[in-house]
Amino acid sequence: MQDLDLLVNLYNLPNDEDPTKAMAEKGVFIRRAIAPDKTEILDFIRTEFSQGWADEAEKAIFNYPSSCYIAVMDHKVVGFACYDSTALGYYGPLGVAKSARKLGIGSALTTKCLLAMREKGYGYIIINAGPVDYYIKQLNAIVIGDHKGVYSNLICN
């Protein structure tokens, strides 16, 4: 399996304003995941996306500090984004419930994670695949390879 990796410069993010307040005005609350919410978060990810993404999110939830952000609307998880889950310096996975798309939640979660990564000390990070054109346009991401990447040694490959 070939992976497409993208490089993002965290020093020159096109949008580096914390999206928390703007999302709260829409009734969407962005925050770090915490252990007591693990079951609800992982059930959401398994149902909406995949067990593999739930596995990555579980790892991120238990990093210190948690490297998983969630979006909550009406007391329900409607989105999540992680970093430093499968490999250090990697962003993802990211997912938003179909019912909550087009509200800017994915962009807000991405911004929150990238700002946290920059605060942690990263200057550049890797995004593995995803909506490549989106990341190129929104984050000035650069395609850095079509090669065996971090996911090439999975048992199921």
pLDDT of the chain along its 157 residues, tens only?
346 899 999 998 888 899 999 999 999 999 999 999 999 999 999 999 999 999 999 999 999 999 999 999 999 999 999 999 999 999 999 999 999 999 999 999 999 999 999 999 999 999 987 788 999 999 999 998 766 667 666 776 5
Does 149 map to a domain?
A: no
| Exposed / middle / buried, residue 108 (Cβ in 10 Å: 0-12, 13-18, 19+) | buried
pLDDT given at position 129: 74
Indicate whether 9 belongs to any domain: no
Tens of pLDDT, residue by residue over 128-150, are 877 889 999 999 999 987 666 67
Q: What is the pLDDT of residues 110-132, one digit of tens each?
A: 999 999 999 999 999 999 877 88
Answer yes or no: is 34 within a domain: yes
Cis preceding-peptide flag for 14 (omega within 30 of 0): no
pTM of the model: 0.91
Domain that holds residue 103: 16-120
Instruction: Report the candidate in 73, 69, 56, 78 with the shortest Cα–Cα distance to residue 111.
Output: 69
CATH code of the domain covering residue 36: 3.40.630.30
Q: Is residue 152 part of a domain?
A: no
DSSP category for residue 100: G
Domain contains 86: yes
Task: Tell me what pLDDT residue 2 has.
Answer: 47
Please give the helix or strand (H or E) that residue 146 lies within, else none.
strand 142-147
| 126 belongs to a structural domain | no
For 68, counting Cβ atoms within 10 Å of its Cβ (0-12 exposed, 13-18 middle, 19+ buried), the class is buried
| Residue 134 covered by a domain | no
Angle at 73 between CA 70 and CA 78, to 5 degrees: 50
The domain total for the chain is 1
pLDDT of residue 157: 56
